[in-house]
Structures are given as C-alpha cells and as structure tokens.
C-alpha cells in the first residue's frame, strides 16, 4: 500500500527528471502497465474504444495488485484530439482518475485512505488548480456520468467537504520554462515530504479483504471486439468499418473482451458475445470446429463469478463450436486458477496451452 507512484505526462524530459529523483529516494514508479505510464498508449486506446474503460480497468488492476498509489502525477490538460462533446476542456484524463478515486472513497476498507494527486500545470492553469488544492470539492463537482446511481454517490461524497479534504490531497508543479527542471523537481520533493507525513498519520486501508469491490462493481461491462474481416470490426454486436489502428490490434476472427468481467457485467458481456456470433454468421461465419480465440488481457478486471458464469454459458449456448479457447493474461489466469469455479473454464484454457 502506497508503494508505487503513477506518472503520466507528455513532457518526456520532465518525466526523466522525476524518475531520477524518485529513484534516488528509493521510490518506485509504475512502468509495466502501458495505460498508467505511456500517454501515447492512452491516446491510442481512447481513439480505438471511444472511452476510457480500459484505463479504468488497468487502474483497478493496479489497486488490486499494489494498493493505493503513493502519488499520482499527471498533466492537468491533455489534447487527445477528441470532439468537444467527448472532451470539452481537455481534462478527460483528470476526470477519469477523479471518478475512480471517488468510487474508491466510497468502498469498504478505503474510507480512511488518501489520494495524493500532483497536477503538472502551466501558468494559465495555475489559478484554478491552486483553488482546488484548498477546496478539492470544487473539482469533484465537475464529474458527471451517464449512470445516475454513480452521480448520486458522487453528490453524497462531495456534500461532506471535510471528508473530501481528508481523502483528496491535491498539489501542483509547473511545466518547466527555460530549462528550469531542477526547480520543479525540488518543488515535487517538498510535496513528497508532505504526502509522507499524511500517510504516516492514517490507518492502513484493508485492500486485501474488501477494498476493491466498489471499483469493480461500478465499472461498465467489457467491450466485445471481433475483427470480422479485412474491412470490418464488430464492437458489442455492431458491425463497423475498421479503423487503420485497429488493423494492427485485432486479428481476424479473434474475439477480445476488454474491460470489466464481473458479477454485475457478465450477463451483458455474454449477450454481446452472442450478438457477435450472429453478426459473424452473416459476414464471415465461424466454422463449428475452427479455432476461435477469446482474448482477455490482464488489463481486464475479473472477479470470482467469471469462471462459472462464462464456462456455463459456453458449454450451453455455444457448445456446437468445439474449437473455442481462451487466451488469458498471466495475472488473470492465476486469479482464475485460485477461484472455486476454475473447473468450469479450465477445459477452454487447456485447449490453448
């Protein structure tokens, strides 16, 4: 808990300065999860899926694996070249993390945790961000979703200003000008000292017992994506013209489950898989005995209900397709092996070994 930090910035030189400083302090920064370390990968993923579901899923995986980040450092604004409807203020990244942290703040086991956030700002952004450091509630009131239940949770949380201040600790450093990187790194070191004192004064969150349920419960269902043929891709049962970047990501007739596969979302995901097979039947039918790979990356979030639910579905609804097998990331495979329902899916994984 509070071990690794997350750093997401477009300024590669500043990134190297920060990494060097933190290495000297024997502090670790996340580098293995691309959507929590590489802004270009985030941009590609957002353009591919038109949302941040994979980013949220990867953050959920980080929380489950490492607990709360010691510190999240990120650019206050990032131009992802999205429409005004999708990202009117270039703060999509900020809103994504604020929502994830707010959901965690309402999770059992995380009530006393702390979200330490450092924004990288320019001079124009300084005034509003400096206000948020004193009143983080003003920042959270700008978060809205399409799910009114989540909005109600956000409203309930922000109604208690003191609780918000205890949970969110927001600071900033400036985008360096005229090569003054050392000055901003020194500012960050002072912020780290403050964060260390804050963390020492609070109880350790009980992540291993109960602390990750809220973030998985409120994640939207995984997208079901299948490359239908050279020109088309099926996304959640809808046939679309394939984008250039998707051609290099998805192999023909491979199905990808990207996002949350939990007790709340699995029924929707199963419906999307069924819809995918129906669309494929019209444009490039699966053969009953051909090898059909269903890929689940480690960035997708699984819970204990997945194995039994999806295993039963495959054996009943898609039993005629004898070549189905799963290609599951190592971390998620290890998680499934330790679940009571692993037997229901084991045969589909063994086919791929």
pLDDT at 36 over 90: yes
What is each CA distance from 215 to 231, 260, 301, in whole angstroms?
A: 36, 10, 10
Return the pLDDT at 302.
86
Mean confidence (pLDDT) of the chain: 86
Contact 292, 325 (CB under 8 A): yes
Contact 72, 6 (CB under 8 A): yes
300: three-class secondary structure by DSSP? coil
Banded pLDDT at 341 (limits 50, 70, 90) = confident
**Comparing 49-53, 77-81, 229-233, which segment has the lowest mean pLDDT?**
49-53
How far is it between the farthest Cα atoms of the chain?
Answer: 66
pLDDT at 207 over 50: no
Return phi, psi of residue 345, to 5°: -120, -10
> Token pair of 116, please?
């330490």
pLDDT at 205 over 50: no
Contact 305, 262 (CB under 8 A): yes
Distance CA 89, CA 85 (A): 10
Q: Per residue in 237-280, pLDDT tens?
A: 999 999 887 888 888 899 999 988 888 888 999 999 999 999 99
What is each CA distance from 33 to 30, 39, 234, in whole angstroms?
A: 7, 11, 26
Distance CA 52, CA 206 (A): 27
Return the pLDDT at 309.
85
Q: Which residues of 13-28 are buried (b: 16+ CB within 10 A; e: fewer)?
A: ebbebbeebbeeeebe
Banded pLDDT at 77 (limits 50, 70, 90) = very high
What are the counts of helices (DSSP H) followed by strands (DSSP E) for the chain? 15, 13
Domain spanning 4-213, CATH class: alpha beta
> 60: closest CA among 200, 261, 256?
261
Q: Where in the chain is the domain with CATH 3.40.50?
A: 4-213
Return the pLDDT at 125.
92
Banded pLDDT at 208 (limits 50, 70, 90) = very low
Banded pLDDT at 210 (limits 50, 70, 90) = very low
> Token pair of 250, please?
């998805």
Contact 94, 76 (CB under 8 A): yes
> 301: closest CA among 269, 261, 345?
261
Burial of 298 (0-12, 13-18, 19+ CB in 10 A): buried
């Amino acid at each position: 808990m509070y071990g690794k930090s997350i750093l997401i910035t477009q300024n590669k030189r500043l990134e190297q300065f920060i990494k060097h400083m933190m290495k000297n302090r024997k502090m670790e920064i996340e580098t293995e999860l691309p959507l929590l370390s590489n802004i270009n990968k985030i941009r590609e993923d957002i353009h591919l899926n038109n949302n941040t579901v994979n980013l949220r899923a990867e953050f959920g995986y980080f929380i489950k694996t490492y607990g709360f980040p010691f510190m999240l450092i990120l650019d206050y604004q990032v131009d992802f070249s999205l429409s005004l409807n999708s990202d009117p203020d270039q703060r999509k990244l900020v809103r994504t993390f604020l929502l994830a942290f707010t959901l965690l703040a309402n999770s059992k086991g995380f009530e006393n945790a702390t979200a330490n956030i450092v924004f990288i700002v320019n001079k124009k952004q300084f005034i509003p961000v400096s206000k948020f450091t004193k009143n983080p509630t003003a920042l959270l009131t700008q978060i809205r979703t399409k799910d009114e239940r989540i909005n109600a949770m956000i409203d309930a949380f922000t109604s208690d200003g003191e609780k918000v201040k205890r949970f969110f600790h927001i600071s900033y450093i400036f985008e360096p000008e005229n090569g003054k990187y050392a000055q901003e790194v020194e500012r960050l070191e002072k912020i780290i000292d403050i964060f260390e004192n804050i963390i020492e004064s609070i109880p350790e969150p009980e992540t291993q017992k109960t602390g990750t349920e809220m973030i998985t419960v409120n994640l939207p269902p995984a997208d079901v994506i299948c490359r239908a043929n050279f020109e088309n891709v099926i996304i959640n049962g809808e046939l679309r013209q394939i984008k250039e970047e998707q051609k290099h990501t998805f192999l023909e007739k491979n199905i990808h489950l990207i996002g949350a596969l939990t007790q709340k979302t699995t029924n929707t995901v199963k419906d999307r898989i069924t819809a995918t097979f129906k669309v494929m039947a019209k444009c490039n039918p699966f053969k009953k005995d051909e090898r059909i790979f269903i890929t689940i990356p480690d960035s997708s979030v699984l819970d204990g209900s997945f194995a039994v639910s999806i295993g039963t579905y495959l054996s009943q609804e898609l039993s005629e397709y004898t070549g189905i097998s799963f290609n599951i990331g190592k971390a998620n495979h290890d998680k499934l092996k330790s679940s009571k329902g692993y037997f229901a899916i084991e045969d589909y994984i063994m086919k791929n070994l």
